[in-house]
Chain A
Amino acid sequence: MIESIAFYMMAGVALGSALLVVTLRNTVHCALFLGLSLAGVAGVFGTLGADFLFASQILIYVGGIAVLMIFAVMLMGRTSDLTLRQVNQEWLAGLLVCAITAVGLWRAAKACLSATASGSPAASTRPLGRLMLGDYAVPFELISLVLTAALLGAIFFTRREAGGRK
Chain B
Amino acid sequence: MELPLLSLITFIPLMGALAVLCVPKENRRVLEALSLTAAAIPFALTVWLYFAFDRSTAAMQFVERHAWISTDAVRIDYYLGVDGLSAPLVILTTLMSLIALIASLGIKERFKEYCFWFLILEVGMLGVFESLDFFLFYVFWEITLVPMYFLIGIWGGPQKEYAAIKFFLYTLAGSVFMLLGILALYFKADPHTFDMLQLMKIHGSLSFRFQVLAFLAFYFGFAIKVPAFPFHTWLPLAHVEAPTAISVILAAVLLKMGVYGIMRVNYPMLPLGFEWFLPYLVIIAVINIVYGALCAMAQNDMKKMVAYSSINHMGYCLLAIAGASATGFAGAAFQMINHGIITGALFLLVGVIYDRAHTRDIGAFGGLAAKVPVYAGLMSLSCFASLGLPGMAGFVSEFLCFLGAFPRWKIYAAISVIGIIVTAAFFLRMIEKVFLGPLNNKWADLPDMNARELLSVVPLAVLMIVLGIWPRWALDMMNTTMVGLAGLFR
The answer to whether A and B touch in the complex, with CB atoms under 8 Å apart, is no
- A residues near B (Cβ < 8 Å) are none
- B residues near A (Cβ < 8 Å) are none
